[in-house]
A and B are shown apart, each in its own frame.
Chain A
Amino acid sequence: MTSAYSAILGRAADADGFAHYLAQVRTGTSRAEIVADLARSMEGRRNRTQLPGLRKITRKHGGLVPSLLAWLSRRGMSTRAQSIQRQLRVLDNNLYLVQQAVAAQTDLITELLALQRLSRMESAASGQPARAQGSGENSEIARTFHELKAILAGQPRN
C-alpha cells in the first residue's frame, strides 16, 4: 500500500486513506483494483503517473473513468468465480496476519528462553562459591553474551 501511494500519488499514505484501503485488502479486494482505484482518483489523474503496466491495469479495472465498460471488462468471469477469488484473497490475508502474529510470538519466546537460561546461569554463578565447578563458566558465558549484544547494538545495521 505504501509503495502504491508513493508510486502513484508521489506521497506517503494519509491515515484515513491507508485505513480505508487496508480494510479493502483484508476483505478481498485485489491489489490491482486498489492500484486502479488510486490511479483514477482526482489526485491520481492530476499526477498522471507513468508506470509500466499501469495503463493495462486501469483499463482492465475500468479505465480512468468508471463506467459500464468497467463492468463489461470483467464480463469474462462469472460473478461466482469473482466471489471465490475474493474469498481466496480474504483467506490469503488472514493467513498473512496469522504468520505475522506467529513470528512475533516466536521472537518473544526466543527472547524469553534466552533470558531464562541467562538468569539461571547468573543465579547459579552468584549462589555458589566463586571457584566451584561450572559457576565460573556460567558467569563467563553470561558476560560474553552481554558483550556480544552490546557490540551488536552499537553496530550500524546495513
Chain B
Amino acid sequence: MITDKYIAKIEGHGSLETDFSKSQVKLHIHEGERLFEGLLVGRTIEESHWITPRICGVCPIAHNLASLRACEDGLKIEISETTELLRELMVCAQMMQSHALHLFFLSLPDYLGIDRGTELAQKNPKDFKAALDIKEVSDDIAAVVAGRNVHPTTTTIGGFHKIPTREQLEKLLQKIKQTRASAGRALNICSKIKFPELKVDLELVTQKKEKILSNKNDPSTPLRVNPSIKNYKEVITEEIRNYSTAKFGGYKGREIMVGALARLYFSDHKEKEILDFQNPFHNNIAQAIEILLYHKQAGKILEQLLASKSDFDGTSKSDFDVYASEGIGAIEAPRGGLYHELRWNNKGIITYANIITPTVQNLTSIEKSANALLEQNKEKTQKEKEHLLEMLVRAYDPCITCSVH
C-alpha cells in the first residue's frame, strides 16, 4: 500500500510505502532535483560557498564551510587562528539552530501532545521560552559572525570579508551566559520523555580528526588506520533507487546512521551515558545533549577570542593565488558527515563538483530501522504503526532538501 501523503514535519517531501504483512518499508523521496553538482560547473570558486548554502536553509553554514574548505584544501591556504575560531563559532551556532528547530518544531511535538511547535507556548510557556532562547542565541551568533542567520554573507576563501567587533563578541558572550539554563532545559525535557523502544544493530559513522570512523570497524584499530576523509568516495557509497530522487548512501554499501547519536558514540562526553546507541529514537536526546555541548563550546570560543590581542577591526583574510586544482571539504553538519569535492581550472572556474550530504547516508538506515520497528511492534494496529513510523523518520531528522541537491 502506498500512503500517498507527504510526511509532515520533516524538511522536504518524503512518503512511506509500507508492506505491513512483510514488515517492509520504502522511503519515497519526491523533491525535485536541483542538480547543484551541475549548476556549480561554470561558476567561480568564490561563488561556490555562496551557492551551496542554498542547498539547505536549515544547515546553510555547514555547506558554506564545506565549500570553503574544499577551495582552501585545493589552494593550500592556511587560515588564521581568528578565522578558525570564528568558523568554529559558526558551527556551534549551526548545530544549536538546527537541533532546536528539529526538536521543538518537528520531532518533540509528537511526544508533548501538540501539533504545531508554537502550541508549546500555551501548554508549557517555560519550555517554549527555553526553545526560543536557544533559537535566539544561535541565530544571533550566526547573524553577528556569518552576517545573517540563514545563508552567510561575511565568509570568503581564506577567511572573512568582515569580522565582528569586540563589543559584538562581548554581547554574544553575555547572551550565552544568560541562556545556559535554557540550553540545559532542552536536555531536561528530552531526558524525561519515554521514547519508543526499538533495538536496531545500528552502524554509526562519524568524521573525526580528518578520519571516517565506524563502530563496526575493529575498535582496537588505531585512529590513523581509519579511512581518511580524502578517500571518502571509497567508503561512503551511493546508489540510485527507482522510488527516490535522492541517492541512497552507505558505508561500503552497508546501512549507516550519521548525526548527533553517531557523533556522541565516538565522543567522551559523560552526558552520553543516558543514550541507547541501538535505538535511533535516541537521536532526539543526542541532539538535546549537543545543544548543551555546543552552547558551552560557544562560550569557550567567545572567551578565547576576547582574550586574544586581536583588535577585531575589519577583516581576517589570508592571501592566495588561484591556480587549477581540486580539493575536498568535509565537515560534521548537524545531521552528520558532509562532503564537498570541487575541481577548477586556472581561472578558478569550477569544472567538477560532487556533494554527499548526511541525509543521503541516513536514508538506508531509516528503512532498516523502519523494518525493525514493524517487526518489533506486530501487536500494534496499522494506524499505530503508521504513526510510529513517521515518528521514527522524524527522529532521524532527515533533511530531504539536502538529500536531493
Q: Do A and B come from one complex?
A: no
